[in-house]
A and B are shown apart, each in its own frame.
Chain A
Amino acid sequence: MPPETNIMTLEKCPTGIRGLDDITSGGLPRGRTTLVCGGTGCGKTLLALEFIVRGIREFDEPGVFMSFEETTEELASNVASLGFDLEELIHGGKLAMDYVHVERSEIEETGEYDLEGLFVRLDSMIVETGAKRVGIDSLEALFAGLPNEAILRAELRRLFRWLKDRGVTTVITGEQGKNELTRYGLEEYVSDCVIFLNHRVVNRVGTRLLRIVKYRGSSHGTNEYPTMIDEHGLSVLPISSLGFDYPVSTERVSTGIDRLDAMLGGKGYYSGSSVLVSGTAGTGKSSLAAAFADAACRRGERCLYVAFEEAPAQICRNMASVGFDLDQWTGKGLLRFHAVRSTLCGLEQHLGSMIKLAREFRPAVVVIDPVTNLSAVGSAEETKAMLTQVVDFCKNQSITTLFTSLTEGGGPQEQTDPGVSSLMDTWVLLRNTETPSGERNRLLFVLKSRGMAHSSQVREFMLSDKGVQLTDVYIGAGTVLTGSARLIQEAQDEAVAEARHRDATRRQRDLEQEKAQVQARIGALQHKAALLAEDLDSLTGDERSRLETATRNRADLASARQVD
């Protein structure tokens, strides 16, 4: 947090617990006491202990942890699996832990007393480590151990004031009460910040939830936030706080199928958009998803494949049969499968683990196959809410998401089970058609695609060992034909065309022949004309020579007669 210039602003003490600092806008109130309450097994102790450990490790603020329920050794072994080495922190002088054991049967009360013993123990630890943070888990053991509640309550009030005076940021835990937040009303001593943890079981699936009941002097999220405990400790998922202010891209990503790219304005899906592929069983939804994943990996991008139905090995084997070698991408670390049964955990946990994985793996593309299985663990509204969060998260991270959705046969095809279609930017519908010749063919429509000119035509979707192919369906004479019917029709068309072609050729040949004949005749006549002209020429020559001879002869005769 940047240093605040406004002195009225409450200083925050970051917990380091993922998500919690987001919903508290920076952490717990510094120098104050925060009460963490909730039922058994909801993670109160973990939250308090994580606050201390992360304080040391991430913010270099030494801490003190006082436990009334578990010994230091027990706590150390409990959190060892989370990577917290308490022993090491204790040896490093940054952490001090004390197990306070109150045994009712050993204690006899006579007269007045105070809890100075507790104060001294806390104080010596705070001084020893220079602690800035204190965790106390849980003071309620005192109520069981000490019968005089009047003294106890007065002392608790004194304790909280004392902690405040010491300037340490404190987290105390309290067991959930029947009508109150805590069994012994600890909330009345803590006025600054109260966090409520809950562990709810719906449909035999448990979900952890966290809510900020109050936070004096600070804005905070008011929702119940899904919370997870995993190998990294506690994490709160403040995803519902995400807004619409995500970046929007005009870049396109290939669908993995050239013809489908062509149908989507020639370039494919928008990068960072949400895509829904819906269809009845066996229409090829997973293949379309695999094509998309394969194309992403081919571009060198990472893809997270969340599978609710099949094991990764099975997906790889099946997709190899349609020409997608997904194994190579998992080998190269570009493709990661997250395969779980949807009924394994609640929606929030699914959401949480997906988001956690997405944060770690940083994929460009996420495939969820199929989302419809999630309705097994939540109502339609809950599933929709969860998917909204997935979509929002992915859009915020500019991740292109492809969801497949199984449509039950018989129902309206253009309806998705969790009603998620409105969340989707592009909706590709796959459909089976049964032809009169007794076969089922797959059809593909682009039902909608926001922000791009897309084909309104249906395509036949074919799966073969060469991959996924789209072909034009036969459209003509008022019918749409697919599959073998299309092939037959196409063959018939071809035969007709062939015949026409043959006809034309023959006719052409005839005409050519006729033309040749005419030309031959023309040649003969011309030849004849030439002969005639020759004859004519020779005829005229003869006549002239005859005339000359005659004239000469006459002259000769005259001279002979001595004509005067």
Chain B
Amino acid sequence: MTTKRAQTALEALEAASRDIGGQIYTLRLYVAGLTTRSQEAIRTVTTICEEHLAGRYSLEVIDIYQHPVLAKGEQIIAAPTLIKKLPLPLRKIIGNMADKDKVLVGLDLRSK
């Protein structure tokens, strides 16, 4: 029985990895006001989402000045910070997203 359950878990994992191409991405971009840096980050992230995750992502842009409580809850230190909440693992990408490749790696859309 134990082996059977283990097998099921393994199968589930394999199925999940097959499905990875079709996973829904939940992203949040925290910025501090509409500075040039914030705008650059928003632009880059939107472009990447449209190019790589068209139709299967939700992106929320949050101004920490407006929502300081969220900054605390999400453990935001730096701005801008892009958080990949789903799929796991959770990842934080900080900066103005100047290096697109690094962002892609951070979002697990490209392997290192």
| Chain A contact residues, CB within 8 Å of chain B | 98, 100-102, 106-118, 120-121, 123-124, 142, 145-146
Please, which residues of chain A bring their CB within 8 A of the CB of B41?
Answer: 111
Does the CB pair B79–A113 fall under 8 Å?
Answer: yes
Does the CB pair B99–A111 fall under 8 Å?
Answer: yes
Does the CB pair B90–A111 fall under 8 Å?
Answer: no
Separation in Å of the B27 CB from the closest CB of chain A? 13
Does the CB pair A112–B32 fall under 8 Å?
Answer: no
B69 contacts the other chain (Cβ, under 8 Å)?
Answer: yes
Please, which residues of chain A bring their CB within 8 A of the CB of B89?
Answer: 106
Contacts A124-B71, A146-B77, A146-B78 known; 16 new A-B pairs at CB < 8 A = A100-B77, A106-B91, A108-B92, A108-B94, A110-B102, A110-B106, A112-B37, A112-B96, A113-B79, A113-B94, A113-B96, A114-B37, A116-B32, A120-B64, A121-B72, A124-B72
- Per the bound structure, the CA–CA distance linking A142 and B77 in Å amounts to 9
B interface size (C-beta, 8 A): 33
Of listed A98, A102, A108, residue having the most chain B CB within 10 A: A108
If the complex has contacts A116-B64, A116-B79, are A108 and B102 also in contact, measured as CB distance less than 8 A?
yes
Please, which residues of chain A bring their CB within 8 A of the CB of B94?
Answer: 107-110, 113, 146
- Per the bound structure, the CA–CA distance linking A317 and B71 in Å amounts to 66
Does the CB pair A111–B91 fall under 8 Å?
Answer: no
Does the CB pair A110–B93 fall under 8 Å?
Answer: yes
Q: Nearest CB to that of A123 among chain B residues?
A: B68
B105 contacts the other chain (Cβ, under 8 Å)?
Answer: yes
Does the CB pair A100–B93 fall under 8 Å?
Answer: no
If the complex has contacts A107-B94, A112-B95, A120-B68, are A100 and B75 also in contact, measured as CB distance less than 8 A?
yes
- Per the bound structure, the CA–CA distance linking A73 and B95 in Å amounts to 31
Of listed A106, A118, A120, residue having the most chain B CB within 10 A: A120
Please, which residues of chain A bring their CB within 8 A of the CB of B32?
Answer: 114, 116-117, 120
The contact sample of 25 A-B pairs, CB cut-off 8 A, is: A98-B72, A101-B75, A106-B89, A108-B106, A110-B94, A110-B102, A110-B103, A110-B106, A111-B95, A111-B96, A112-B95, A113-B81, A114-B32, A116-B64, A117-B32, A117-B64, A117-B71, A118-B78, A120-B68, A120-B71, A120-B79, A121-B71, A142-B77, A146-B78, A146-B94
B98 contacts the other chain (Cβ, under 8 Å)?
Answer: yes
Please, which residues of chain B bring their CB within 8 A of the CB of A120?
Answer: 32, 64-65, 68, 71, 76, 79
Please, which residues of chain B bring their CB within 8 A of the CB of A113?
Answer: 37, 78-81, 94-96
Does the CB pair B77–A108 fall under 8 Å?
Answer: no
| Chain B contact residues, CB within 8 Å of chain A | 30, 32, 37, 40-41, 64-65, 68-69, 71-72, 75-81, 89-99, 102-103, 105-106
Please, which residues of chain B bring their CB within 8 A of the CB of A115?
Answer: 77-79
- Per the bound structure, the CA–CA distance linking A110 and B44 in Å amounts to 11
Separation in Å of the A90 CB from the closest CB of chain B? 13
Q: Nearest CB to that of A107 among chain B residues?
A: B92
Please, which residues of chain B bring their CB within 8 A of the CB of A101?
Answer: 75
Q: Chain B at the A interface: mostly helix, strand, loop or mixed?
A: mixed
Please, which residues of chain A bring their CB within 8 A of the CB of B71?
Answer: 117, 120-121, 124
3 closest Cβ contacts across the A-B interface?
A: A111-B98, A124-B68, A111-B95
Please, which residues of chain B bring their CB within 8 A of the CB of A111?
Answer: 40-41, 95-99
Of listed B64, B68, B76, B80, residue having the most chain A CB within 10 A: B68
If the complex has contacts A115-B78, A117-B81, are A110 and B69 also in contact, measured as CB distance less than 8 A?
no
Separation in Å of the A218 CB from the closest CB of chain B? 34
Please, which residues of chain B bring their CB within 8 A of the CB of A118?
Answer: 77-78
Please, which residues of chain A bring their CB within 8 A of the CB of B105?
Answer: 108
Q: Nearest CB to that of B99 among chain A residues?
A: A110
Please, which residues of chain A bring their CB within 8 A of the CB of B92?
Answer: 106-108
Q: Nearest CB to that of A112 among chain B residues?
A: B96
Does the CB pair A110–B77 fall under 8 Å?
Answer: no
- Per the bound structure, the CA–CA distance linking A455 and B96 in Å amounts to 90
- Per the bound structure, the CA–CA distance linking A117 and B77 in Å amounts to 4
Q: Nearest CB to that of B33 among chain A residues?
A: A116
Please, which residues of chain B bring their CB within 8 A of the CB of A107?
Answer: 91-94
Separation in Å of the B78 CB from the closest CB of chain A? 4
Please, which residues of chain B bring their CB within 8 A of the CB of A114?
Answer: 32, 37, 78-79
Does the CB pair B95–A109 fall under 8 Å?
Answer: yes
Does the CB pair A117–B30 fall under 8 Å?
Answer: yes
- Per the bound structure, the CA–CA distance linking A102 and B65 in Å amounts to 20
Please, which residues of chain A bring their CB within 8 A of the CB of B99?
Answer: 110-111
Separation in Å of the A156 CB from the closest CB of chain B? 12
Does the CB pair A124–B69 fall under 8 Å?
Answer: yes
- Per the bound structure, the CA–CA distance linking A107 and B102 in Å amounts to 11
Separation in Å of the A91 CB from the closest CB of chain B? 17
If the complex has contacts A120-B32, A120-B64, A120-B71, are A102 and B95 also in contact, measured as CB distance less than 8 A?
no
Separation in Å of the A67 CB from the closest CB of chain B? 13
Separation in Å of the A69 CB from the closest CB of chain B? 14
Please, which residues of chain A bring their CB within 8 A of the CB of B69?
Answer: 124
Please, which residues of chain B bring their CB within 8 A of the CB of A106?
Answer: 89-92
Separation in Å of the A36 CB from the closest CB of chain B? 22
Please, which residues of chain A bring their CB within 8 A of the CB of B80?
Answer: 113
Q: Nearest CB to that of A101 among chain B residues?
A: B75
Please, which residues of chain A bring their CB within 8 A of the CB of B79?
Answer: 113-117, 120
Please, which residues of chain B bring their CB within 8 A of the CB of A116?
Answer: 32, 64, 78-79
Of listed A101, A111, A124, residue having the most chain B CB within 10 A: A111
Q: Nearest CB to that of B101 among chain A residues?
A: A110
